[in-house]
């Protein structure tokens, strides 16, 4: 758990540092940071897809996942509910920042495999590496979206702690093939966030979040089917 605690702390520290740095940055420079954050999200998203898609054993699964997950998210209206909730506490575009931050922090090989390696082998290398990246990312996001980005920290903690506890209880339950599929879908979602930040297209990325559950359900059903 030490790796997850460190990772969570770096997001808190980075968000606070970025918030105070923002006060000394002129508006035109804040806009530059806003643009660079959008470009970075696009680059990270495309990189995740291009790296993992060739390894996929089910190259159509991410398309099915996005379609089904997007329909579920739209019916539930996750994006609208989240924006209304955040809007009660902030009049800025904090909701967009939080959704982008949560995706960048949580949906990636380091953030998924890290807790598994920590639980099984006591190896926190992946999590410490992820923490270093998140320190920089959270600071840049906070210069754009403000101190409210700190609320992404408990989400990361719950996410990694959940994976850690499940792994302790059931062993290495996350096959490499599943990590690959989640990384592909996650890459698409991160790229979609980048499009929103750059105001190219509002993809309502939060409505697509259920897409991440479809590969998990697919592998669970595949496992259960294999037992019969």
Instruction: Give domain status of residue 67, yes or no.
Output: no
How many domains is the chain built from?
Answer: 1
| Intervals of the chain under pLDDT 70 | 24-25, 86-87, 89-92, 108-109, 170-174, 226-228
Predicted pLDDT of residue 161: 92
Instruction: Give domain status of residue 106, yes or no.
Output: yes
DSSP state of 124: -
Instruction: Give domain status of residue 74, yes or no.
Output: no
Instruction: Give domain status of residue 37, yes or no.
Output: yes
Closest CA to 173 of 228, 109, 220: 220
Instruction: Give domain status of residue 227, yes or no.
Output: no
Note down the domain range covering 131.
Answer: 2-56+90-201
Instruction: Give domain status of residue 129, yes or no.
Output: yes
Predicted pLDDT of residue 90: 63
Instruction: Give domain status of residue 117, yes or no.
Output: yes
Question: How many Å apart are CA 59 and CA 212, to the nearest integer?
Answer: 15
Residues 23-70: tens digit of each pLDDT:
766 777 777 877 887 888 888 889 889 988 999 999 999 999 999 999
Instruction: Give domain status of residue 64, yes or no.
Output: no
Burial of 163 (0-12, 13-18, 19+ CB in 10 A): buried
Collect contacts of 74-80 with beta carbons under 8 A, ≥24 apart: 74/204, 74/207, 76/207, 76/210, 77/207, 78/206, 78/207, 78/209, 78/210, 79/204, 79/205, 79/206, 79/207
């Amino acid at each position: 758990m030490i790796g997850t605690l460190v990772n969570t702390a770096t997001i808190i520290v980075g968000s606070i540092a970025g918030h105070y740095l923002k006060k000394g940055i002129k508006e035109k420079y804040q806009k530059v940071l806003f643009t660079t954050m959008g470009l970075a999200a696009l680059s990270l998203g495309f990189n995740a897809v291009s790296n993992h898609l060739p390894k996929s054993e089910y190259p159509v699964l991410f398309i099915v996942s996005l379609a089904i997950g997007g329909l579920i998210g739209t019916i539930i209206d996750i994006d609208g509910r989240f924006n209304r909730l955040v809007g009660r506490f902030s009049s800025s575009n904090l909701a967009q920042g939080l959704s982008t931050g949560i995706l960048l922090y949580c949906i990636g090989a380091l953030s998924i495999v890290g807790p598994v390696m920590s639980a099984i082998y006591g190896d926190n290398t992946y999590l410490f590496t992820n923490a270093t990246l998140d320190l920089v990312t959270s600071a840049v996001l906070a210069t754009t979206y403000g101190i409210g980005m700190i609320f992404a920290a408990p989400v990361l903690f719950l996410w990694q702690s959940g994976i850690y506890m499940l792994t302790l209880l059931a062993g290495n339950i996350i096959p490499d093939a599943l990590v690959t599929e989640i990384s592909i879908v996650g890459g698409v979602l991160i790229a979609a966030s980048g499009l929103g930040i750059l105001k190219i297209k509002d993809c309502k990325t939060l409505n697509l979040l259920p897409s991440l559950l479809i590969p998990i359900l697919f592998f669970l059903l595949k496992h259960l089917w294999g037992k019969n």
